[in-house]
Amino acid sequence: KPWHFGALSGVVMVCAGLSDVSGARMWADRRLPPLRPDGDTTERRILWVERAVKEALRAEQRAERRVWEDVEKLDVNNSANAKSNVMVEDSDDDAWQ
């Protein structure tokens, strides 16, 4: 989960260890900017939070779409199975025997 604070620092270290300078820079730029010493929020930090929220919402939407696609697949499969498992009323078969 690259939006996790510790994960981002770890990815930067891995890229640096692999001599992947462009990857290290890219992931370093995605880290949460520090607070100013006076505790005030910087513009970079505000932009970081806004971007992170947008990315999280997009990820949630993608996950929800996948869930609905899976539910639709289950519905189709269950409908096909239900048709083959229909019990005929005038049959002499009894579920209790």
Averaged over successive runs of 10 residues, the pLDDT of the chain (97 residues) comes to 73 94 91 82 87 91 93 76 58 59
CA atoms in the 13 A half-sphere facing the CB of 15? 15
Phi and psi (nearest 5°) for 37? -55, -30
What is residue 16's predicted lDDT score, i.e. its pLDDT?
95
The tokens 């989960």 sit on which residue?
1
Verdict on whether the full-model pTM lies above 0.85:
no
User: Closest Cα partner for 49 from 38, 61, 37, 35?
Assistant: 35
